[in-house]
Structure 1
Amino acid sequence: MKKNQLMWVIALLIVNTGWIFLSGKMVPQEINRPGADFAENRAAELDPFFSDEIDYKIEYCFKSSNGVLLNYSLVIKQGSTVLFEDQGTTDDGCKTFSSTGKSGDLDFQTTVDSGIDSEVTLYTKPLGNVMWEGIFLFSIGTLVVAYLETGLRHKIKEKVDNRPQPKSSIPQELEPVQNEGIWQTPLRPK
Structure 2
Amino acid sequence: MVQSLREILSIENSDKTSLQEVFSSFKSFKGDEDIEIFLQKKAIPNEEQNISRTYLIINDEKWEKNEIQIDGYFSLALKVIKLDDISNTKKKSIAKSTDHDDVAAYLIGQLARSKDTDKGMGKLVLEEALSRIKSSQDLVGGRIVYLDCKEAVKPYYEKHGFKELQNNPGDNTLWQMYRII
User: Is the TM value for this pair above 0.5?
Assistant: no
TM-score, normalised via structure 2 length = 0.23
Richer in helix (by share): 2
- The structure that has the greater radius of gyration is 1
Richer in strand (by share): 1
TM-score, normalised via structure 1 length = 0.22
Q: More relative contact order in 1 or in 2 (CA 8 Å, sep 6+)?
A: 1
